[in-house]
Structure 1
Amino acid sequence: MPRLVDHEVRRRHIIDAIRRVIVAGGLEAVTFQTVAAEAGVSVRLVQYYFGTKKEFLLATHRSVMEDAGARFTHRWNTLGADAAPREALRAVLTELLPLDDQRREEALVLGAFGWAAITGQGITAEETFAAPRALVMIVADQLRRAQHADNASPSNPELDAELVTMAIGGLAQGMLQGYGTAESALELVDHLLDRMLGERSRNDQLQR
């Protein structure tokens, strides 16, 4: 009997190869030929699954977002619905930092897409904005929860969430360039949350 082909597995195999090519040489290194060579398949097979370069680039971007989203969901479920806003925010924000090989690869790929949007390499910024917008909504919701729990004066959770998201993105890119360590990055995340939510108690700090 002929062997059945799992098309989703094969697509993921090719997308993983695209990610490795991007990490090694940026988006400019990505061609049907380099991807096929990295994946160990024919150029025709890559073209069969992805008709254009833009199609497989956007599929790669989605795969990074889906992997990160799966981790967010797992962390979220582990924390539980009653998790304090600070705890929930810290869990989400640290998932965006390149603290291990997988997250480092994802940060490099996303950085390459960001640069491509700036330099006009066929990917527009608008095509990659869905994930940051979703993150802003998550952060804003947690900031509103914290504000309600503390009976704090009205502020602007949406603008604060934009600021937090931009800060974490910059911190991740800085880490990729060797600016700071994992320990200092986590310290900065806690400091940022202190600025947004108020300083932790001494007991909380000792528990960290």
Structure 2
Amino acid sequence: MPKPADHDQRRRQITDAARQVVARDGLRAATFRSIATEAGLSVRLVQYYFGSKEDVLRATRAAVAADAAQRMQRAVSELAGDSRPAEVIRAILLELLPIDVARREDTMVLDAFFFAEITSTAAETPSDDAADASGYLQDLVCQQVVLAGADPSTAEADARLIVAAASGLAQAMLADARLVARAPGLIDRLLDRMLVH
């Protein structure tokens, strides 16, 4: 008797395949056929789990964002209970930078979605949940900026600048692998200048 399918595992297999296709070949290359080939499944099975290309892409983007959130939470939970706000922000930001193969691929996937949004290729833009993820990250950083002693009236702007600087660093790291080794020091320098002492 065949083993019953684990639907969550199958969906994850498909979104992992989509993520590989997008990271390697770009968003336009993510078709039912290319995703099915990457996953080692039939096109019909991919269509069974995801009714449209937009559904697959939406789920893929959500999976990448969820993985990043889990990494951030794990990094923060591994800190000592009395960690300074700068240490917490540092842990969060380092989990988002492309400092290894998996995070590099995630950065490329999220960038592909971002560039599709700003170039208005609506058919390839699954949703506006990127704003939610960005807002979540800024809120996390803002809480720590306030704990560091910043004026609450300027903490949101400071958090936005910190996140924007880290995003810019991530882009630079994709183009220049030499920055990978320097990334922790650059984040430390950024926080040293942005946080109240």
TM-aligned CA distance change 1:195 to 1:33, over 3 Å: same
Is residue 142 of structure 1 aligned with residue 144 of structure 2?
yes
Letter in 1 for 2:24: A
8 Å contact from structure 1 (residues 75, 91) kept in 2 = yes
8 Å contact from structure 1 (residues 27, 112) kept in 2 = yes
Residue 82 of structure 1, CA deviation? 2.5
Question: For the residues of structure 1 that align with 2:80 and 2:20, how far apart are their CA atoms?
Answer: 34
Q: Tell me, what secondary structure is at the counterpart of 2:128?
A: helix
8 Å contact from structure 1 (residues 174, 180) kept in 2 = no
Unaligned runs of 5+ in 2: none
More deviation, 1-10/179-188 = 179-188
8 Å contact from structure 1 (residues 36, 42) kept in 2 = yes
- Residues 151-191 of structure 1: CA deviation (Å, up to 9, x unaligned): x6665010111111111111101100116422222221111
8 Å contact from structure 1 (residues 114, 125) kept in 2 = no
Letter in 2 for 1:58: R
TM-aligned CA distance change 1:157 to 1:198, over 3 Å: closer
Question: For the residues of structure 1 that align with 2:2 and 2:25, how far apart are their CA atoms?
Answer: 38
Question: For the residues of structure 1 that align with 2:158 and 2:129, how far apart are their CA atoms?
Answer: 24
Question: For the residues of structure 2 that align with 1:154 and 1:76, how far apart are their CA atoms?
Answer: 22
With the length of structure 2 as denominator, give the TM-score of the two structures. 0.93
Letter in 1 for 2:159: A
Question: For the residues of structure 1 that align with 2:126 and 2:14, how far apart are their CA atoms?
Answer: 23
8 Å contact from structure 1 (residues 17, 38) kept in 2 = yes
- Which 4+ residue blocks in structure 1 deviate beyond 4 angstroms? 152-155
Mapping of residues 96-115 of structure 1, within 5 Å: 96-115=96-115
- Corresponding residue of 1:48: 48
Residue 81 of structure 1, CA deviation? 3.8
- The structure having more radius of gyration, on CA atoms, is 1
Residue 198 of structure 1, CA deviation? 4.9
- Corresponding residue of 2:163: 165
Mapping of residues 41-190 of structure 1, within 5 Å: 41-122=41-122, 123=125, 126-147=128-149, 156-178=154-176, 180-190=178-188
Residue 80 of structure 1, CA deviation? 4.1
Q: Which has the higher contact order (CA 8 A, sep 6+)?
A: 2
Is residue 27 of structure 1 aligned with residue 16 of structure 2?
no
Letter in 2 for 1:25: D
Identity %: 46
RMSD: 1.7
With the length of structure 1 as denominator, give the TM-score of the two structures. 0.88
8 Å contact from structure 2 (residues 86, 195) kept in 1 = yes
Question: For the residues of structure 2 that align with 1:126 and 1:43, how far apart are their CA atoms?
Answer: 27
Instruction: Tell me the matched-pair count.
Output: 195
